[in-house]
Chain A
Amino acid sequence: MNLIDLTIAQLHEGFKKKQFTSAEVTKAYLDEIKKTDGEIGAYLNITEKLALEQAEKADKIISSSKNFPMLTGVPFCVKDAILVEGEKATAGSKMLENYVAPYDATVIRKLKELGGVILGKTNMDCFGFGSSTENSAFKVTKNPHDTSRVAGGSSGGSAAGVAAKESCWALAEDTGGSIRQPASFCGVVGLKPTYGTVSRYGVYAYASSLDQIGPMGRTVEDVVTVFKAISGKDPMDATSVDYEFKEVNVAMKGLKIGVPKEYFAKGINPEVETIIKQAIKKAEEAGATIVEITLPATEYALACYYIIAPCEASTNLARFDGIKYALSEPGDNLLDVYLKTRAAGFNAEAKRRIIIGTHALSSGYYDAYYKKAQEVRQLVREDFQNAFEKVDVIFAPVSPFPAFKIGEKTDDPLAMYLADIYTISLNLAGIPGISLPAGKIGKLPVGLQIIGNHFEDNKILAVAEHMEKLLQ
């Protein structure tokens, strides 16, 4: 038995039966990271000392109690946008290269209380700005299925870490597709929960009305376990809501599945389309009813997102001024410190988004861009509201194409933005979506996106568990 092959549920059983210890599992992962991460580049910082301490603590809990939480002793990795006290939190940027987190994010606090083991911090596009992890200030994460290709982004490190068995599961964050798209590219399960179900306290804010923390894992069951553990109201995040995960029984027989016609209109890779259509057919054979639906605002969603997200980002990133955080470039006066620090700390994509956002919010342009985008956001919400009056869940692709070659899209920001075309609408509407491995094009995994209405995360996870079996 190879310890790094086991899921959360299998590790939990093994701990219970005293087949192995958390320290042994943790060491097995640390060894694997040392062996393979030179090539993959999933991690920015391996928190070995912390991991071994936490494993020792977990083993004490395991040996002294019969009923311990599912996540006790289970090693995981954390996107570098999420704070772990005393460890560096770079957000993939030069700006925060030497920034040490002053406190734990709420999700980290919860996972520490449950006895989780943190293996390290994973690579990402700088501040979440990107769809390939090529915008990291430090390195490009490679796709474990084909190292000439990207792992997706912005949570590419987390997805590659799970796919390469350098971690049992991962914490990530999704603003426009940053959990689902890399999960699709790397062939793991990734959940972007309903906005408000998981506290955002202690994650670097990119676009506060869109950001959502969520889990990645090897199975739907593992993702459910983590989501149960991290969700719920947090006084430190005013947008978090009173939410408690409840299991639901959903039968495939009689389930109404919506398929948006706009998502198969143009630009989709034909092999991706075939895999998604085959998955839909399997659902139909299992008794589900397939309903064609329409989401007419889809053609505006990308433009809407690329106004709202940079507007919020340009505001959120104003805090990086050379005064409160790690990097500070010397200047003659205060303004000079701001200008020089921000010039040195932000990469090209961050600068591009700050400029787009500032322009869209500037006097004379606000109505044409920001206000118009808010209107379109409402249209996107209404599309989904209308759809969920007719169907239970929606099936769609995650990305129009599988993992692309490293460097293929770096010179063309608009081509890169298209990687998020099927995922961004969910963030605009605040609804949940999961990426489930559905098939492969050669070596390259393709994810099926299962979309639900607000707070029906349990429903899409239940459907995903059925689909996981049907797609095996």
Chain B
Amino acid sequence: MISKEEVLHIAKLARLELTEAETKKMQKDLTAVLDYFDILKKAPKVGAKKLNGDGKNVLRKDVAIQKPASLANNLVQAAPDKKDNYIKVKAIL
């Protein structure tokens, strides 16, 4: 069984606040799911070369793409807390 401390450690990394009941349920669910993942131990090994063989990077030119000013406005308007045309955040330091 995954311990309460482990769940709380992961929750902290994930920026999730869990209630006491949620933590208990998560211990149970996470344990069941991780036990199920054990099946992968049986899977054959795959070489690193093969693993990274296909797929390629796709890059675009580092230039600004023109977008209507309304888009910036819509994005700011969608934020919960704003002042003038800025998104407001809590002090970081």
A138 within 8 A of B: no
Closest to B80 in A: A328
A324 to B10, CA, bound (A): 24
Closest to A375 in B: B46
- Check A362 against B15 for contact (C-beta < 8 Å): no
A248 within 8 A of B: no
Pick the residue among B11, B16, B17, B74 that contacts A85 (CB under 8 A).
Answer: B74
Q: Separation in Å of the A343 CB from the closest CB of chain B?
A: 4
Chain A stretch 121-173: residues in CB contact (< 8 A) with chain B: none
Query: Chain A residues in contact with chain B, CB under 8 A?
Result: 85, 99-100, 102-103, 235, 238-239, 297, 299-300, 303-304, 306-307, 314, 318, 321-328, 331, 333-335, 337-340, 342-343, 346, 348, 351-352, 354-356, 358-359, 362, 369, 372-376, 378-379, 413-414
Pick the residue among B22, B33, B45 that contacts A306 (CB under 8 A).
Answer: B33
Q: Separation in Å of the A229 CB from the closest CB of chain B?
A: 24
Closest to B12 in A: A339
Q: Separation in Å of the A30 CB from the closest CB of chain B?
A: 27
- Check A303 against B39 for contact (C-beta < 8 Å): yes
Determine the chain A residues whose CB is within 8 A of the CB of B65 once the complex forms.
235
B69 within 8 A of A: no
Q: Given A321-B15, A351-B22, A378-B50, are A372 and B71 also a contact pair (CB < 8 Å)?
A: no
Which 6 pairs across A and B sit closest by C-beta, in order of nearness? A102-B74, A328-B80, A343-B17, A339-B17, A375-B46, A358-B14
Q: Given A299-B39, A342-B16, are A359 and B75 also a contact pair (CB < 8 Å)?
A: no
Q: Given A303-B40, A372-B40, are A238 and B58 also a contact pair (CB < 8 Å)?
A: yes
Pick the residue among A103, A314, A324 that contacts B74 (CB under 8 A).
Answer: A103
- Check B77 against A102 for contact (C-beta < 8 Å): yes
- Check B92 against A369 for contact (C-beta < 8 Å): no
